[in-house]
């Protein structure tokens, strides 16, 4: 049974991924602030899978990332599959952006991907096996007004993904990113008013937003051996939002 480490798995897309992968993998579900939700999720998953642990760590901090991987390795030996999902949004005009808020977005969304990957790679290289999935966004391709910092963090994830895939291909490690459109989670509910959401919905060909489970299904496929020929790619899943 392979071990999957999912960052930001206490809520939203990360929690849906954990539920989707449960009983097929050993799971490390990371959380930062939502302890109760993470522990409730762990308890639920353990009803069918004894190999689930929840670990508190702020993945924007190297010390926390080290702790996260140490606990994962102490419990399950090594991490085979890394899903860099944790992320935050920040709505503001560029001229109004606060420096510390901006830094927090870059550290949480982008630097965490670097830190987690850096920590996971040596073990993957020595085992000649590994899969890394980075959670990007449609904003990483096209940007969005009031979301310049968030968009930049996701655009950088896309190029990081392509570069890392080149670096790790000789070691048989696949690296891909997933770029969702709008997904029904707390993030989307906090970011937009009901009126804005109705307007946005009209721009989606499917006429609705994604459910977190639909993103989780794509993750399940991409980490499986069925996707062995997919690497260095940004997979879009947006209901025709383009």
Listing DSSP states for 126-194 in one string gives HHT-EEEEEE--THHHH--TT-HHHHHHHHHHHHHHHHHHHHHGGGTEEEEEEEES-BSSHHHHHHS-H
Indicate the residue among 85 and 158 with the shorter CB distance to ligand NAP: 85
The reply to whether 31 belongs to the active site is no
Distance set, CA 6 to CA 12, 47, 99 (Å): 12, 19, 28
Indicate the residue among 25 and 31 with the shorter CB distance to ligand NAP: 31
Out of 4, 5, 10, 41, the only residue in the binding site for ligand NAP (CB under 6 A) is 10
If we measure between CA atoms, which residue out of 130, 121, 217, 208 comes closest to residue 178? 217
Per CB under 6 A, 140 contacts ligand NAP = no
Report the nearest approach of ligand NAP to the CB of residue 161 (Å).
13
Query: Percentages helix, strand, coil for the chain, rounded to the nearest 5?
Result: 50, 15, 30
239 torsion bin: left (phi>0), alpha (psi -120 to 50), beta (else): left
199 to 238: interface string for ligand NAP, x by CB under 6 A? ----------------------------------------
Report the nearest approach of ligand NAP to the CB of residue 44 (Å).
15
Out of 13, 29, 41, 81, the only residue in the binding site for ligand NAP (CB under 6 A) is 13
- Interface of this chain with ligand NAP, residues 67 to 86, rule: CB under 6 A: 85-86
Binding site for ligand NAP (CB under 6 A): 7-8, 10-14, 30-34, 58-60, 85-88, 108, 135, 137, 180, 182-183, 185-188
């Amino acid at each position: 049974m392979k071990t999957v480490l999912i960052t930001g798995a206490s809520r939203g897309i990360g929690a849906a991924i954990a539920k989707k992968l449960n009983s097929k993998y050993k799971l490390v579900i990371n959380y930062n602030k939502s302890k109760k939700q993470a522990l409730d999720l762990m308890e639920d998953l353990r009803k069918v899978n004894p190999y689930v642990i929840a670990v508190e760590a702020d993945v924007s901090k190297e010390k926390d990332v080290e702790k996260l991987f140490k606990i994962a390795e102490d419990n399950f030996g090594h991490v085979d599959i890394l899903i860099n999902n944790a992320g935050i949004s920040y709505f503001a005009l560029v001229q109004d952006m606060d420096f510390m808020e901006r830094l927090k977005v870059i550290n949480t969304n982008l630097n965490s991907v670097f830190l987690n990957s850096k920590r996971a790679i040596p073990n993957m290289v020595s085992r000649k096996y590994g899969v890394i999935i980075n959670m990007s966004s449609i904003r990483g391709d096209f940007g969005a007004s009031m979301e310049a910092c968030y968009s930049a963090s996701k655009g950088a994830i896309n190029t990081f993904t392509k570069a890392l895939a080149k670096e790790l291909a000789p070691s048989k490690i696949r690296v891909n990113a997933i770029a969702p459109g709008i997904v029904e989670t707390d993030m989307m509910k906090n970011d937009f008013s009901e009126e804005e959401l109705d307007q946005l919905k009209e721009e989606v060909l499917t006429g609705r937003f994604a459910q977190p489970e639909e993103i989780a299904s794509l993750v399940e496929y991409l980490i499986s051996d069925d996707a062995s020929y997919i690497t260095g790619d940004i997979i879009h899943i947006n209901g025709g939002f383009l």
